[in-house]
Amino acid sequence: MKVIKLENIDKCFGEKKVLISVNLDVEKQEIFGLLGPSGAGKTTLIKILTGQLPASAGKAYVFGENSERLKENSYREIGMVMDNSGIYERLSCYDNLKLFSSIYKIDKRRIKEVLTAVGLGGEKKTSAGKLSKGMRQRLILARSILHRPKLLFLDEPTSGLDPATTKTIHELLFRLREEGTTIFLTTHNMEEAAKMCDNIALLHEGNIIEYGEPEELCRRYNSENQIRIFMKNNQMINIINSPESAGKIEQMFRQGDIVSIHSSEPDLEQVFLRLTGRGLEE
């Protein structure tokens, strides 16, 4: 059984079509990344999957259940990180989590464990309102995994965070996957997606325009197949990887011009650019 299954999902807000016939499967223990620029429909799709919004057409299944009618038991298996954080500013980190542990009837010992896991072990008594942006995001993440969900939705989990916090979060997500968690994340950071995700989908104007493993996608779009050469005079040149280039490269070698040679598969950013004519950060 797929953890997530979307069949021909449409979503309209009034006249505006935000999602158009989206089909998607996510397997157990997969880190799946939904990529697209701002306004592409990423958050809308998460809201449909978590029963916060109805689809206009099509079916969305989570753990095999229709997402519009998820049962209490299924919600207990889901964790979510969205912008509406639901953190109580005046409560300490510990008390914020204590509140949730009583709702979910979770052993209090788990609170310390989770705070340590997100690197907030030393901030138990700090009130949430006093946390830095990166710490706050880690507290939100801590809350979302407190009940050991089998499926975690993360809407732009590292957007605007410093590299150290981003790294902590990435490491935690890898650990969660090892423990069997399925992770559905959205990002407009292609580098993050390439590093984190087993599979990604590129969402553009409501359509999934590409799907696959990040590396495989990059290779697929490596039509130009270029070789990149760094020269002693600090120049960088790109040469087509073909027999005709052999003479030219040999000559550079003989002259001792070459510092290093690299293959140059396009990165995901370039794949997206090639598909849409647009960058992700616009």
Ligand X SMILES: Nc1ncnc2c1ncn2[C@@H]1O[C@H](COP(=O)(O)OP(=O)(O)O)[C@@H](O)[C@H]1O
Contacts with Mg ion by CB under 5 A lie at: 42-43
If contact means CB under 5 to 8 A according to the sort of partner, which of ligand X, Mg ion, none does residue 36 touch?
Answer: ligand X
User: Does position 104 bind ligand X by CB under 6 A?
Assistant: no
User: Does position 50 bind ligand X by CB under 6 A?
Assistant: no
If contact means CB under 5 to 8 A according to the sort of partner, which of Mg ion, ligand X, none does residue 18 touch?
Answer: ligand X
Query: How are beta strands 78-81 and 258-263 bridged, if at all?
Result: unpaired
Minimum distance from residue 210 beta carbon to ligand X (Å) = 16
Tokens 């797929």, located at residue: 2
Which C-beta is closer to ligand X: that of 207 or that of 222? 207
Minimum distance from residue 103 beta carbon to Mg ion (Å) = 26
User: Does position 134 bind ligand X by CB under 6 A?
Assistant: no
If contact means CB under 5 to 8 A according to the sort of partner, which of ligand X, Mg ion, none does residue 39 touch?
Answer: ligand X
CA dihedral defined by 82, 64, 172, 108, rounded to 10 degrees? Answer: 80
Q: Determine the straight-line distance between the first and last CA of the chain, rounded to whole angstroms.
A: 37
User: Does position 12 bind ligand X by CB under 6 A?
Assistant: no
User: Does position 54 bind ligand X by CB under 6 A?
Assistant: no
Pick the piece of the chain touching ligand X (CB under 6 A) from 35-43, 77-85, 87-95, 143-151: 35-43
Q: Which residues bind ligand X (CB under 6 A)?
A: 13, 18, 36, 38-44
